[in-house]
Structure 1
Amino acid sequence: MAAYQWVPRMRDYTSEKEQEACVRETTDYHPLKPMTVTVTESKAKKTGGKAETEFVDPLSSSLDGTDPLSMFAAEHVVTDPLSMAPKRDRVGHEAESGSKAKPGKKSSLDESFEPWSTKKANILSKYTTSERLSITTSFLSPSDREKVAVKTQVQTTMTDKVKNRLEQLDDFEEGSVKEMLNLSQQDYVNRIEELNQALISAWEQDQRVKALKIAIQCSKLLVDISVIQFYPSKFVLITDILDTFGHLVYERIRQKSAYFPPGSKVPQMLPEDFTPDQVPGSAKETCRNWFYKIASIRELIPRLYVETAILRCYSFLTSGEYSQALLRLSNMMRGIGDPLVAVYARTYLCRVGILVAPEVHDHVTINLYDFLTTYKQLQSD
């Protein structure tokens, strides 16, 4: 029997990958989004002697030439508060969170950046609505439970039953998910504040899972763009809750990282400029568990928002994770079907990313180009 000598084959995987890669083409429409036709009227309609103006999306259509993004396309000047937020929120967030710059790190912040608190106030005062709003949640106060419409689903086939079961698991609450209808803008803001207080109360009572459920349900509210002119304000209200959740998780892990100095019986907190080597193993395990819980969220948008909210917690695990995590989340943003929802999700990611890692800018470039790619979709919708 003949003997064969095996010789390893030399391969250049980089060149093979380039040769076999498919050619990319730019598309103006998301392939998974259903086709819709929207008719926009900017003329005032007179009813009973009063003029009523059709409100339209400030990001996706034109209001007599005053739409910020239309001005951006015409004059190449960014005036939309959301498109300016990724670079102008750095000072505001660092001032509000009380975080200090770590020694040895060069911050790219300067005095020209406007605080996020100022931007929030401007957005909330500018983007208002007189239309009726709705909110879907299972965390309502007892006085509101009689005013809601319970969401039901007819189970006709096995597929419907499986889908309904998965939705029940995602509801994260024993009770039914309820939808409050015909809310005024002030009522809606009050309900959002109730959710914020419910999250804080659950956290103070050591109900961590319930707090996570509230954060997930709040992030799901950003999927609804039925009242587009109010969406910027809703984005501000919801992300405030997510910021609160992220701060609570960070401080919880930091408290678990307390240590006893040699010869002392009084525990000390980690310094502001701590390194991952100073974090005990138990605190790192708690941090990983939070990321594991969030990674198990089935829906993309809540998973992206909640992980972005606790992005700062990566500092307990490793010092070089921010860049990879921001790039990974930026690529995941491309899976959001609605271009308007995607724009705001990218805004939140850039705002948090600049806070936790001001020296990292690769994800900002990616999100900017993705925004420019989907800009035509915003105009067409």
Structure 2
Amino acid sequence: MEFRPRNYTAEEATYSLPRSHADTHPLSTPSPSHHQVDVVDHKKDDFYDPLRGSDANGKVSIDNLQDEENSSAVSKADVGLPEKEWTSFKKLLMQRFSGPKMVSISKMSDVIVKSGKVHEKTSTTMPLEELDDPQKFAEDGIKVISQQEYVSRLHELKDEVARAWRADDRVTSLKVSIKVARLLTDTSVLQFYPTLFVLATDVMDMLGNMVWQRIKQKAEFAEDGNVICSLPENFDEKYICLDAKETCSNWFFKIGSIRELLPRIYLELAILPCWRFLLNRPMDVLERLVMMTRGIADPLASAYCRLYLAHCAQKLPQHNTRYLIICINDMEILLTRFLSEKEATHEKFSENCGSFVSLTEPAIEYIIKCIIKESYQTRAGEVLMDLGLGRKQPCVSIILHHLLKELSSELVGSNALEILQLIECSKDYSFDQCLNYRLLGFRLSERSQLDIINAVVDKIIQVVSAYNNLDEYLKVIDAYVDIILQNQMDNHLHVILDGIAKRACNEGIAEIELTSLQSIFLKLLAHFNNLEDIFSLTHFIEILDMMHGSSRSMVNMHILNIATRNRCIGDPTIIQFIFEVSQSLHDGIDYSNMRDDDNQQRARLISRFVNMVDYGTEVERQLAFLVECRGAFRSINELKETLVRSSNCLAVKAMKDGKKHLSFVKSCIAYSEVTIPSVPSRVRQFILYLETAEIALLGGLVSHSDGLLDSAIICLQTLDLMDGNAERGVTYIPRCMLTLINSQSWMTSRMRTMVLCAIVSLAATLSQFKLPYHANHEEMLGNDHLFFGDPTYLQELLSLSALILQNLVDFIMQEPSRVARGSMALEACNCIASSFNPSHEVLPFFSKLMETAKSCLSSNDKYLHSTIKCTAKFLQTNT
């Protein structure tokens, strides 16, 4: 048996493809040249290829696509918008004000008492959470009912109205509806009132729809069922027959005879669209109803009555926003009076006052939304004047807030200075003034003119400089940071950072303040491209050190993300800072849940940072950094692999500088050897041991290389195969591999065949007079020099190969699948033909494997045909 001689240099030259220098990278954007191919589309415009079209012709604008999407969304949203908005609004209203568990029953709530279970409770026996106002329960014997029972009773009343209507008992339906509307006069339990409003108006809306359908039916059909007319969508009173008009008038007369003001208003609002059967301008009725709401004494009841008026007004085909503006102005007068009385009695913003304003806010928000939506395309400027923009007297803060929230970006931008003046004048207790300054900033960032921006920001800086409270200061500044950064107002940026630092040093940073501070810092990080610019900001690091918790972690992650954008990090100051940031993130990782995306992202960022640190020629300092990282980030498994590879790269870098760094290379190898066992994956350990062994061999550290290879083998077996003998021979490692695959039951025949073929190829390569590559080290001699002409070296390789060939045939024959067995036999045949000269020792193995392949594979198998063709020369040589 003898190995086939190989000339690797000649083989490379024979089989390599011809190469030529390319002026540009093949994946880069091609410039127009004579090599460019023109593609003809034959005037087919139905398909646009984005990879073929040019910027000038046929390119679809992303902005245009977005505009089309927006317009499509608006057109879809307009269909049934008022009703959808109202349904959504009611759900949010009930979620926001869930109300107490128990509700008191007033004299006006007899309709609820009818079937509800009433409890007699005293103020001393009721749980504290059931008492909204202790003074309200000062007298004993108060009747209460659970909220669930109250709600259930209202649902029963709604069903009762519907049943009576289906039985043609219109009078009972009206009477029960009046009783339900009367409940809305009871505001004794403030937090329950929104729920009561939603449920009661459901009954009103249902009655209004039934009345509308009945009158419409009378207008379109006679008593005998004959069709009178089909009302168009925009019909007026001239289309309506006398009988339908009389029925409609009768309903309004009945409702007009209701004694109590509030039920009378609600019932008329419920059937408000029915005025279309009597009047050509039904919206004129709104003026009278708006004036009637001024007679409601209770401010909360009057606010929600105006809310229902705004909802019902949306049902008219042409309704004027003037009446809704009157509603808002009336509510502003009531709020001003209410807040002034509290301030006069030094109650300021007591709990009851806060509850009242909070309960009134949804009504204000909805009415203003209706006003702005209806007037935006027509008389938006006049509406602003009607609502008070431009007048000298202050506006109630909460009304101003929702007005500012709903106005278009163009109107906010053009009236920014006037709005700013209004905010400054509005110092009531209905809404935090700083939140209006904040909202103005966010609205201005949408669209505004530079001259207006400068004036507004100058004024805002003056305003917030008077704030001592850090929370208020941060809330306002957060809204203007983007504007300041986009317009390069560096002087203002230094001022606000200085203001944050002073207030934070005096008061510390509370949890409630961290959210705004986190937002400010993330905006700063997003604006600047590199850490040098960020660290140069006044007080940035000082403020960051005072942050804590999840907000600090979020900012740290963004800092680390910016730091790892570039290729390397070499500044020692920045490295130390990022190292401390990474330590803080590492300490916050939940290692019991490493599948969490946030924990995984932290680990990846830290690993990327360590991999990007480069101290240049100061290799000892970089190795010390790796040692420090191994101790600081010991819990991140993926980082350990990064540390080993960084150490190996550092060793190769040192080798290039010459012999004087041999001791440093040994330190790097020792570092890797100590670190690898901490990698949890045995497969990863195996790969790292092999890589490190290669580095050790490159550096001439033979004993280190042998030890690392021994460790690699241990990773693949359960039993220790080493006895520490230094005279193990050149085939020690391959023989260990052979023992390993024979002892591991989990290895398949396919896996064993691949390993054995690789060992045969290795032995054939080691037998050559000139090896295909060498270690780049002057003192590291290859086997072709160390064992040149040594017969025992060659005999050891042949002995191993003979053993391998026998094992190879045995493993292939054990494969149960015929097709797999045939393919494995062909692979072994190719391996033998490329490794050995034909001889009587080799040919029996080759012939048996070829016969196996022919018997297992189809005669048309391409792999079989190509192998027979390629090995024909091998067989001819022997002949």
Shorter-chain TM-score bucket reads 0.5 to 0.7
Q: Report the 3-state secondary structure (helix = DSSP H, G, I; strand = E; otherwise coil) of the residue aligned with 1:374.
A: helix
Q: Distance in 2 between matches of 1:350 and 1:356?
A: 11
Cα 1:229–1:91, aligned 2, differ >3 Å: closer, same or farther?
farther
Match of 1:289 in 2: 250
Q: Please tell me whether the aligned partners of residues 104 and 189 of structure 2 are also in contact (alpha carbons under 8 angstroms).
A: no
Q: Report the 3-state secondary structure (helix = DSSP H, G, I; strand = E; otherwise coil) of the residue aligned with 1:273.
A: coil
Q: Please tell me whether the aligned partners of residues 301 and 336 of structure 1 are also in contact (alpha carbons under 8 angstroms).
A: yes
Instruction: Give the total of aligned pairs.
Output: 238
Match of 1:189 in 2: 151
Q: Which moved more, 1:270-279 or 1:241-250?
A: 270-279
- Cα deviation, 1:203-233, whole Å, max 9, x if unaligned, reads 1111111111111111110111111011112
Q: CA deviation at 1:117?
A: 1.1
Counterpart check, 1:227 vs 2:189: yes
Amino acid at match of 1:340: L
Amino acid at match of 1:335: G
Cα 1:373–1:198, aligned 2, differ >3 Å: closer, same or farther?
same
Q: Distance in 1 between matches of 2:204 and 2:168?
A: 18
Amino acid at match of 2:171: V
Match of 2:240 in 1: 279
The structure that is helix-richer by fraction is 2
Cα 1:95–1:377, aligned 2, differ >3 Å: closer, same or farther?
closer
- 2:309 corresponds, among 327, 349, 353, to 349
Cα 1:93–1:342, aligned 2, differ >3 Å: closer, same or farther?
farther
Q: CA deviation at 1:376?
A: 2.7
Cα 1:313–1:228, aligned 2, differ >3 Å: closer, same or farther?
same
Identity of aligned residues (%): 38
Map 1:117-266 → 2, pairs under 5 A: 117-134=87-104, 136-138=109-111, 144=115, 147=117, 181-259=143-221
Q: Distance in 2 between matches of 1:181 and 1:272?
A: 50
- 2:280 corresponds, among 303, 314, 319, to 319
Q: CA deviation at 1:239?
A: 0.8
Q: CA deviation at 1:148?
A: 5.7
Amino acid at match of 2:263: P
- Cα deviation, 1:55-108, whole Å, max 9, x if unaligned, reads xxxxxxxxxxxxxxxxxxxxxxxxxxxxxxxxxxx9697664xxxxxxxxxxxx
Q: Distance in 2 between matches of 1:213 and 1:364?
A: 29
Q: Report the 3-state secondary structure (helix = DSSP H, G, I; strand = E; otherwise coil) of the residue aligned with 1:183.
A: strand
Q: Distance in 1 between matches of 2:255 and 2:163?
A: 21
- Cα deviation, 1:219-252, whole Å, max 9, x if unaligned, reads 1101111110111121111111101111111111
Counterpart check, 1:270 vs 2:240: no
TM-score by length of 1: 0.57
TM-score by length of 2: 0.26
Runs (4+) off by over 4 Å: 90-96, 138-141, 264-269
Q: Report the 3-state secondary structure (helix = DSSP H, G, I; strand = E; otherwise coil) of the residue aligned with 2:184.
A: helix
- Cα deviation, 1:344-374, whole Å, max 9, x if unaligned, reads 1111111111221454111111101001000
Q: Please tell me whether the aligned partners of residues 275 and 282 of structure 2 are also in contact (alpha carbons under 8 angstroms).
A: yes
Cα 1:124–1:92, aligned 2, differ >3 Å: closer, same or farther?
farther
- 1:331 corresponds, among 262, 282, 291, to 291
Q: Please tell me whether the aligned partners of residues 128 and 185 of structure 1 are also in contact (alpha carbons under 8 angstroms).
A: no
Q: CA deviation at 1:132?
A: 1.6
Amino acid at match of 1:321: P
Compare relative contact order (CA 8 Å, sep 6+) and give the higher one, 1 or 2.
1
Q: Radius of gyration: which is bigger?
A: 2
Q: Report the 3-state secondary structure (helix = DSSP H, G, I; strand = E; otherwise coil) of the residue aligned with 1:355.
A: coil
- Cα deviation, 1:140-186, whole Å, max 9, x if unaligned, reads 87xx27x469xxxxxxxxxxxxxxxxxxxxxxxxxxxxxx9432222
- Cα deviation, 1:298-335, whole Å, max 9, x if unaligned, reads 11111111111110000101111322x10001011111
Cα 1:266–1:355, aligned 2, differ >3 Å: closer, same or farther?
closer
RMSD over aligned Cα, in angstroms? 2.7
Cα 1:366–1:352, aligned 2, differ >3 Å: closer, same or farther?
same
Match of 2:330 in 1: 370
Cα 1:333–1:305, aligned 2, differ >3 Å: closer, same or farther?
same
Q: Distance in 1 between matches of 2:244 and 2:251?
A: 11
Amino acid at match of 2:293: M
Amino acid at match of 1:128: S
Map 1:63-142 → 2, pairs under 5 A: 96=83, 115-134=85-104, 136-138=109-111
